[in-house]
Amino acid sequence: MTGGNRGIGYAVAAELLSDGCDVVLVARDRDRGRAAQSALTAPGTPGPRLVVGDLSGVRAVRATAEALREACPRIDVLIHNAGLWPSRRTLTEDGLEQAFAVNHLAPFLLNHELEPLLVSSRARVVQVGAGLYVKGRVDLDRTPAGLDFHPVRTYADTKLCNLLLLPRFAERWRDSGVTVNAVHPGVIRTGLGDRGGPVGYLLKIVKLLWKSPEAGARPVVRLALDEELAGRTGRYFNLEQEEEVAPVAADPELAERLWGQALELAGLERTPPPVRR
């Protein structure tokens, strides 16, 4: 699971561990990852494992995928939880806007890099989304480099990018047994989007009214483990309720172009969909 050292990811890890799962945390910062690993380890239990990996660049995502392949000979559930809500435009080493790279391109590339393991175990892939996708818009010429950057809307734009490709992955994996679903976990009190100054102070006050990370973890864990959802794929859930996506996320022509662009940005070739043998 990416982004497992704090917030919703940490709460998801705790619940999965309580259910007896072997959990692997992916964290960018080694010290924070080890702190979460230690805090999640109950006396007499092995606790979660840790993979230190950066998701902000193509080269780094490939290295993270390699570390995961070494740590995990089997993957039954892959949870894409890491996310950024930046307050200013920052470019990665690939020349991409940071939220676009982490929220959209990194899950796309990880899905491809880990695909053989996912297929071999008929895995579930869970994408932690955001209801704000409905406010997003995608400009294929401007959004990747953040030329249309906005401190609020860019988060929505990049989450929309991610959701647009959900049916494409569902179709790609249709005959492999791999399922993929997205979930909006609710408006949750985490560090996502924190700001400095007066605006940041006001946001912290507002967040006191939001739900806890533990509440946000429940719909994510449900998609990961609930047997009633086995075989269901390409679906979007608002908390625990399945919903049709808004029209802005149901544009197959835009999704096709976005998929092709992501392949190019990630340095991937178009390949036939995998079939479980």
The secondary structure of 38-96 as a DSSP string is HHT--TTS---EEEE---SSHHHHHHHHHHHHHH-S--SEEEE------SS--B-TTS-
Give pLDDT, residue 186: 76
Rounded Cα distance, 120 and 105, in Å = 23
Contact predicate 10/4, CB 8 Å: yes
pLDDT score of 200 more than 80: no
Instruction: Give the angle subtended at the CA of 104 by the CAs of 69 and 153, to the nearest 5°.
Output: 155
Give pLDDT, residue 205: 46
What sign does the CA torsion over 54, 73, 230, 247 have? Answer: positive
pLDDT over 90 for what percent of the chain? 79
The answer to which of 44-58, 116-130, 194-208 has the lowest mean pLDDT is 194-208
Predicted TM-score (pTM) above 0.75 = yes
Residue corresponding to tokens 């089997």: 74
- pLDDT tens profile 125-182: 999 999 989 999 999 999 999 999 998 899 999 999 999 999 999 999 999 999 999 9
- pLDDT tens profile 24-36: 999 999 999 999 9
Domain 7-266 has CATH 3.40.50.720: yes
Contact predicate 112/259, CB 8 Å: no
pLDDT score of 209 more than 60: no
Angstrom distances, CA of residue 140 to CA of 148, 174, 195, 259: 10, 27, 28, 11
Give pLDDT, residue 257: 98
Report the SS3 class of residue 182: strand
Residue corresponding to tokens 């080493």: 93
Give pLDDT, residue 216: 87
Contact predicate 126/181, CB 8 Å: yes
- pLDDT tens profile 229-248: 999 999 999 999 999 999 99
pLDDT score of 118 more than 70: yes
The pLDDT confidence band at residue 189, using thresholds 50, 70 and 90, is low
Contact predicate 103/130, CB 8 Å: no
pLDDT score of 210 more than 80: no
When comparing pLDDT for 275 and 216, which is higher?
216
The domain locations on the chain are: 7-266
What sign does the CA torsion over 1, 99, 108, 177 have? Answer: positive
Angstrom distances, CA of residue 58 to CA of 64, 77, 123, 184, 235: 10, 22, 23, 26, 27
Instruction: Give the angle subtended at the CA of 181 by the CAs of 122 and 211, to the nearest 5°.
Output: 130
pLDDT score of 198 more than 60: no
pLDDT score of 196 more than 80: no
- pLDDT tens profile 71-89: 999 999 999 999 988 989 9
Q: What is the mean pLDDT of residues 174-200?
A: 74
The pLDDT confidence band at residue 185, using thresholds 50, 70 and 90, is confident
Rounded Cα distance, 2 and 119, in Å = 19
Q: Which residues contact 26 (CB under 8 A, 6 or more apart)?
A: 1, 2, 3, 4, 51, 52, 53, 55, 64, 68, 82
pLDDT score of 207 more than 60: no
Q: What is the mean pLDDT of the chain?
A: 91
Catalytic positions = 155
Rounded Cα distance, 121 and 200, in Å = 44
Give pLDDT, residue 3: 87
Q: What is the mean pLDDT of residues 47-65?
A: 97
